[in-house]
Amino acid sequence: MPGVFRRSIYKSPAQLRLMVEPGLATADSLAAARAAIAPGVSTLEVNDAAEAALAARGARSNFKLEPGYHHMICASVNDQVVHGIPGPRRLRPGDILSVDSGAELGGWNGDAAFTVVLDDPERPELVAGRRRLAEVAEQSLWHGIAALAGARHLNEVGAAIEDHIRSQGDYGILTEYIGHGIGRSMHEPPAVYNYRVPGKGPEVRPGLVVAIEPMVVLGDPETYVEDDGWTVTTVDGSAAAHWEHSVAVHGDGIWVLTAYDGGAQQLEPLGITPVPIP
């Protein structure tokens, strides 16, 4: 509409620097959550471990800023894809758990997620299949980030994610839930697709910051929202995996804000060397 102000999706170099600390706070919360995960531990206990780590950074949960949501993380178990609410449910051997977390610090935001599979010696085939799912989802994320490093337009990221997933087997890719820009708010334009779409999307240039987050399932990607109004679950009951990082494009390259090493360990095998934000 003519005359309506729209905030640019591109950040200044100074603003990119301000996004480093909330990214590291998010990484801290996820590291604490991962360390807490074990059979018999409740998803609320995982939440509390993440929240303590966030508080130690002087940050606050941006998930709690979402109207109606009251927890630090989302904890999605087995057929739950995303937005699972932490509670008394105790983890069991063989469970696949996706943990999503975000931090707000100094008015800027970070957002990231990982998936882990608990060991179960009595069901090795189930564990192997779920770990393979988690690996495919994780590597699709890194292929998408690597594509961002050389992309001219943002929709090249989704194409790279889908290409990797399709090359690994018959996995389902969620299309109802996608990635997003991030900055002053946790969810900002532009849309970041996890699959190939028509059109090029926004130009990839310095100042672009996006949260890339593929969601992959072992079966059909159709989902429904549970009665809690949040938890997104597969209709066919198939297991799900969710990985996410917040990534900044700057004048010298890219930097994964929610990874301690900027993504170097995962990106260098793909031919990309991340560069810290100057």
**In sequence order, which residues have a C-beta less than 8 Å from that of residue 4 and are 6 or more positions away?**
none
| Cα-based distances in Å from 110 to 38, 60, 120, 163 | 26, 11, 33, 27
- Quick one: pLDDT at residue 6? 54
Helix (H) or strand (E) holding 25, with range, is helix 20-36
Residue written as token pair 């009251």 = 70
Number of H helices, E strands in the chain: 6, 15
For residues 1 and 105, what is the distance between their CA atoms, to the nearest angstrom?
33
Alpha-carbon span 71 to 69, nearest angstrom: 6
CA 153 to the chain's CA centroid: 20
Tokens matching residue 104: 């707000």
The residue ranges of every structural domain in the chain are: 13-270
pTM for the full predicted model: 0.96
pLDDT of residue 3: 39
Question: What residues of the chain score a pLDDT lower than 70?
Answer: 1-6
Tokens of residue 26, six digits: 């998010």
Surface-to-core class of residue 199, CB atoms within 10 Å of its CB (0-12 exposed, 13-18 middle, 19+ buried): exposed
| 172: Cβ contacts below 8 Å, ≥ 6 apart | 216, 217, 218, 219, 220, 221, 238
Alpha helices in 37-154 (DSSP H): 43-56, 124-150
How far is it, in rounded angstroms, from Cα 135 to Cα 127? 12
Report the amino acid identity of residue 7.
R
Rounded CA-CA distance 223/246 in Å is 25
Considering the segment(s) 13-270 as one domain, its CATH architecture is Alpha-Beta Complex (3.90)
Q: Which DSSP symbol is given to 144? A: H
Helix axes 124-150, 155-168, angle to 10 degrees: 150
d(CA 260, CA 243) in angstroms, rounded, equals: 16
The DSSP symbol for 270 reads G
